[in-house]
A and B are shown apart, each in its own frame.
Chain A
């Protein structure tokens, strides 16, 4: 794999992450269905997680675990911190999505609709 292809790939990962986040934001901000909003929020999360992992990676890096590859080139180990952070972030994102979905169910029972424009009893 040559240099330019790699950097393209690398930027491609960043680009994908950013595009994912924007798609997610679009979903969360414009779509009217509560479910789509929740999906949008998880897509934003996924994009962000991808971005974080990509930040910690560099060309030819090895996994940050004791393995033959690591022992051969310890200096090539990729940064383990973002990976640990992403794990945490994924768990948290999962929790938030679960709570959000539970609320969507309750909202549907209470209002009989999933359209966020019709769920605004609390205003002003």
Chain B
């Protein structure tokens, strides 16, 4: 064994404590150490993932208390895949923002990198944990860092966005605690696997109530309509890389939690239909709202919400193909949307309003960044031969196998809307005249490398999807197999 899943939580927490102290000695450490931590965790997670794919899930028991009493971490192919994805993106976000403002002062940098690390740690913890109260704690860690990161820029309206986030986030934590307490009062346990085995003992009324509170609470983080009021503001006002982190990391963790709750904890068939319905509503409203946006990042935010709707629809099929498609979209979305946020924030770097109109004609000044933005836009629309196509195809085939023709038609119709608003921006970048003399900011070397890596992945997955699909298939059969999950956790030593 190469390491233990507990390191995913222990190391960043320890580092978070030590970094301010180290910073007193050597100021650069506040930027470098989080990167080192994330890099180490990524290596760890990749090696663990290989181990897990070969030998089955690792169940880490904390402090010697065996399940169902103690807290346990589950590193299965499914959670391991997501953790690896999150850490990879986290490392890229770190690398992108390593020199985000050349002369940024010590204290803002400290806060930024610490909160970024905690954001990632919280999301990773949410994904790994096998205990619902522990999940609550990690969600709170994630949210509080997210509030802080959202309000990072003092000169923007970021405090307003952050306050909205906090308002909804507090409600989320209330409802989550309520759901946890209903389950605890009825079943007397907090362990997910244990809850899953005892779920049939619960009265239907309590069951439904706790599921609804779970969905509400996690849905706020997972941007389900109508719980996602915070999302466009937060994405638009947070620093660009943080938007990528939200789309690629936080939301993924929240969707994971929703899915874990619905697939493993509860056995309500109606919940799958509910996922489809709510997914459709989320997708349609978000994509149609996106088409009339004036601000670039806000548009990307709505697009993100729309993609999450699609993920929920795919999860709602309840088949293995559906889960596979959903995971594929999550993967693609994490990669592509990060690229769009990264390149988009350079295209609109010096505009105060970050309006779409301000990116006009940027292709002349930032050719490579514009090209990467266009690549991302083409990929997320789902044009072959880029990555997005394969996930769209997967979702459509999964829907067709369940004979959900109307959903296919709807998803495709919404894709047309998506195409229109992305193309409008790309056209603007390439063909419109610059409106005023705005000195474009050249991307830093780190940022360029990060964007190129993401672009390369889009092309790689587009031309050779087998590079990820094997992993996705294993992860999806892992989620499907509930009894095995329970058995693994409860028999852990």
Say if the two chains contact directly (CB < 8 Å).
yes
List chain A positions with a Cβ less than 8 A from chain B.
Answer: 21, 28, 34, 37, 41, 44-45, 48, 51-52, 55, 81-82, 85, 88-89, 92-93, 95-96, 99-100, 103-104, 106-107, 110-111, 119-122, 124
Beyond A34-B163, A122-B236, A124-B292, 4 additional contacts (C-beta under 8 Å) are: A48-B177, A81-B184, A121-B157, A122-B157
| Contact present for B154 and A96 (CB under 8 Å) | no
Interface segment, B164-172, B310-318, B407-415?
Answer: B164-172
The distance in angstroms between the C-alpha atoms of A28 and B236, with both chains bound, is 24
Residues of A within 8 A of B174 (CB): 21, 44-45, 48
Interface segment, B17-25, B143-151, B456-464?
Answer: B143-151
The distance in angstroms between the C-alpha atoms of A27 and B184, with both chains bound, is 28
Residues of A within 8 A of B148 (CB): 99
Residues of B within 8 A of A44 (CB): 170-171, 174
Residue from the list A85, A100, A104 in contact with B133, Cβ < 8 A: A85
Distance in Å: Cβ of A69 to nearest Cβ of chain B: 23
Known: A103-B147, A103-B151, A106-B154. A52 touches B159 (CB 8 A): no
In the complex formed, the residue of A with least CB distance to B182 is A55
Residues of B within 8 A of A89 (CB): 177
The distance in angstroms between the C-alpha atoms of A104 and B166, with both chains bound, is 11
| Contact present for A99 and B166 (CB under 8 Å) | yes
11 A–B contacts, CB within 8 A, in A order:
A28-B171, A48-B177, A55-B181, A81-B190, A82-B184, A85-B180, A85-B181, A89-B177, A100-B163, A100-B166, A122-B161
| Contact present for B173 and A106 (CB under 8 Å) | no
| Contact present for B159 and A96 (CB under 8 Å) | no
| Contact present for B163 and A96 (CB under 8 Å) | no
Query: When A and B form their complex, which 10 residue pairs have the shortest distance between CB atoms, in order from nearest?
Result: A106-B159, A122-B233, A41-B170, A92-B140, A103-B163, A107-B159, A121-B157, A100-B166, A55-B185, A103-B159
The distance in angstroms between the C-alpha atoms of A93 and B136, with both chains bound, is 12
Known: A55-B184, A92-B137. A37 touches B144 (CB 8 A): no
The distance in angstroms between the C-alpha atoms of A103 and B146, with both chains bound, is 13
| Contact present for A122 and B140 (CB under 8 Å) | no
The distance in angstroms between the C-alpha atoms of A82 and B151, with both chains bound, is 33
The distance in angstroms between the C-alpha atoms of A48 and B144, with both chains bound, is 19
The A-contacting residues of B in range 5-46, CB under 8 angstroms, are none
The distance in angstroms between the C-alpha atoms of A34 and B167, with both chains bound, is 10
List chain B positions with a Cβ less than 8 A from chain A.
Answer: 133, 137, 140, 143-144, 147-148, 151, 154, 157, 159-164, 166-167, 169-171, 173-174, 177-178, 180-181, 184-185, 190, 232-233, 236-237, 289, 292-293
| Contact present for B157 and A110 (CB under 8 Å) | yes
In the complex formed, the residue of B with least CB distance to A121 is B157
Distance in Å: Cβ of B441 to nearest Cβ of chain A: 23
Residues of A within 8 A of B147 (CB): 96, 99, 103
Residues of A within 8 A of B190 (CB): 81
| Contact present for B160 and A96 (CB under 8 Å) | no
| Contact present for B137 and A88 (CB under 8 Å) | yes
The distance in angstroms between the C-alpha atoms of A115 and B361, with both chains bound, is 40
The distance in angstroms between the C-alpha atoms of A92 and B169, with both chains bound, is 12
Distance in Å: Cβ of B182 to nearest Cβ of chain A: 9
The distance in angstroms between the C-alpha atoms of A89 and B137, with both chains bound, is 8
Residues of A within 8 A of B233 (CB): 122
Residue from A34, A92, A106, A107 with most neighbouring chain B CB atoms (10 Å): A92
Distance in Å: Cβ of B235 to nearest Cβ of chain A: 10
Residue from the list B163, B180, B184, B236 in contact with A107, Cβ < 8 A: B163
Distance in Å: Cβ of B466 to nearest Cβ of chain A: 42
Residues of A within 8 A of B173 (CB): 92-93, 96
Residue from B133, B236, B292 with most neighbouring chain A CB atoms (10 Å): B133
In the complex formed, the residue of B with least CB distance to A55 is B185
Distance in Å: Cβ of A97 to nearest Cβ of chain B: 9
Distance in Å: Cβ of B133 to nearest Cβ of chain A: 6
Distance in Å: Cβ of B158 to nearest Cβ of chain A: 9
In the complex formed, the residue of A with least CB distance to B236 is A122
The distance in angstroms between the C-alpha atoms of A45 and B133, with both chains bound, is 16
The distance in angstroms between the C-alpha atoms of A111 and B185, with both chains bound, is 45
The distance in angstroms between the C-alpha atoms of A105 and B434, with both chains bound, is 38
Residues of A within 8 A of B159 (CB): 103, 106-107, 110
Known: A96-B144, A106-B151, A119-B160. A37 touches B167 (CB 8 A): yes
Residues of B within 8 A of A122 (CB): 157, 160-161, 164, 232-233, 236-237
Residues of A within 8 A of B237 (CB): 122
Residues of B within 8 A of A104 (CB): 163
Residue from the list B137, B167, B292 in contact with A41, Cβ < 8 A: B167
